[in-house]
């Protein structure tokens, strides 16, 4: 019982520190910046300029906005955009390509805070873009080619607050701060649960046993055995939980900066059980195309993985 209480207290302390002292400050700054750019019309301008360039990849203007959201806000932010596409008449094929892109890109709620651990954010964003575009194109032209390409009356106008005065700017910042606080506090339960489970498994020797069983395969593929724990956590509990585990491992000296960056390609994305469940809840047509989107995402994540290994 004493061991269980010790695990609970340690996991709770780590989760609160990570959420309030690392995740919250980063998300406040990035969300405030994004919302101000949105309110000033800068994001609309960016979307309008990039949409024609990215059209060959199977992306629309709303798809471009979803890419900005996943990279600079959080893994759940594109959910609103996917809902718009579902309701405003975007074709199934475009929805699938956009969903694949989101699955394959780096999620801001994990990537940005991990800068404090030594993550090269420039390299991460570059390969996130390349992987996302590859996933979108693979889905649009290959895995989703049998999906309907019929477009309804698509309204790609994005409603957002206006910041034309000092009061308007302050209101946008306050709203962004409240949104960031909600994200940070909302991450605490999952972080606590995942860290408790991971710590318990580690204490009971289950992680060491799994690592031993996988050792021949890992050694054959030249994969560091230390990645078993964060990879297992990521794909079962999500990117935020993986970030918590990686933070502990970095503090304990079990993961180097080089290993952190070389593994970012397959560890930092919303393509995991919680991420997929949240994103496909955006609408019935989004849920219907998740399979071709998932196949396309695998291609994009594979490219990101190779890119990070080679250039990290």
Quote the pLDDT of residue 268: 95
**What average pLDDT does this structure show over 17-38?**
75
Query: What's the mean per-residue pLDDT of the chain?
Result: 83
The pLDDT score that the predictor gives to residue 196 is: 80
198 contacts 25 by C-beta, under 8 angstroms: no
Please give the Cα distance from 298 to 49 (Å, whole number).
Answer: 28
- HEC profile of 234-249: HHHHCHHHHHHHHHHH
- Please tell me what DSSP assigns to residue 253: T
Would you tell me the crossing angle of helices 78-87 and 61-72 to the nearest 10 degrees?
160
Cα–Cα dist 104/267, whole Å: 11
State residue 163's pLDDT score. 52
Considering only residues 167 and 146, tell me which one the structure prediction assigns the higher pLDDT.
146
Q: Got the DSSP string for 67-116?
A: HHHHHHT-TTTHHHHHHHHHHTT--HHHHHHHHHHHHHSPPHHHHTGGGG
Residues 6+ apart with CB under 8 A from 2: none
Residue with tokens 């404090």: 116
pTM over cut 0.85:
no
**pLDDT over 70 for what percent of the chain?**
93
Neighbours of 284 (CB within 10 A): 9
Take residue 119 and report the two structure tokens written for it.
């993550």
Comparing 149 with 137, which gets the higher pLDDT?
A: 137
| Rounded Cα distance, 293 and 289, in Å | 6
Helix, strand or coil, per DSSP, at residue 149: coil
Q: How far apart are CA 40 and CA 37, in angstroms?
A: 5
CA 304 – CA 307 distance, rounded (Å)? 5
Q: Compute the average pLDDT of residues 84-106.
A: 90
pLDDT of residue 208: 79
Cβ pair 161, 171 in contact under 8 A? yes
**pLDDT of 67 above 80:** yes
What pLDDT band is residue 138 in, cutting at 50, 70 and 90? very high
First and final C-alpha spacing in the chain: 43
Write the pLDDT tens digit of every residue in 185-222. 777 786 777 778 777 877 777 777 888 888 888 888 77
211 or 289, higher pLDDT: 289
Residue 54's pLDDT band (cuts 50, 70, 90):
confident
């Amino acid at each position: 019982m004493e061991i269980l209480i010790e695990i609970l207290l340690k996991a709770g302390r780590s989760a609160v520190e990570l959420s309030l002292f690392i995740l919250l400050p980063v998300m406040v700054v990035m969300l405030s910046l994004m919302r101000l750019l949105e309110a000033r019309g800068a994001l609309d301008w960016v979307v309008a300029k990039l949409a024609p360039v990215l059209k060959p990849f199977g992306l629309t203007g709303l798809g471009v906005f979803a890419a900005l959201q996943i990279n600079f806000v959080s893994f759940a932010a594109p959910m609103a955009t996917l809902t718009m596409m579902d309701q405003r008449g975007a074709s199934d094929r475009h929805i699938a390509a956009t969903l694949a892109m989101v699955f394959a890109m780096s999620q801001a709620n994990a990537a940005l805070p991990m800068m404090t651990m030594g993550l090269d954010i420039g390299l991460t964003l570059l390969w996130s873009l390349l992987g996302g575009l590859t996933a979108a194109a693979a889905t649009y032209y290959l895995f989703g080619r049998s999906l309907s390409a019929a477009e309804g009356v698509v309204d790609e106008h994005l409603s957002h607050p206006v910041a034309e005065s000092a009061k308007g700017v302050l209101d946008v910042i306050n709203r962004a701060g409240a949104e960031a606080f909600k994200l940070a506090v909302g991450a605490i339960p999952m972080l606590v649960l995942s860290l408790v489970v991971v710590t318990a498994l580690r204490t009971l020797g289950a992680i060491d046993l799994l690592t031993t069983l996988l050792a021949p395969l890992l050694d054959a593929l030249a994969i560091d055995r230390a990645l078993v724990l964060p990879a297992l956590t990521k794909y079962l509990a999500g990117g935020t939980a993986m970030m918590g585990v990686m933070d502990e491992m970095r503090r304990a000296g079990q993961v180097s900066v080089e290993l952190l960056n070389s593994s970012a390609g397959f560890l930092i994305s919303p393509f995991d059980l919680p991420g997929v469940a949240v994103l496909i809840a955006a609408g019935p047509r989004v849920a219907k195309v998740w399979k071709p989107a998932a196949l396309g995402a695998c291609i994009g994540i594979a490219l990101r993985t190779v890119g990070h290994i080679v250039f990290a």
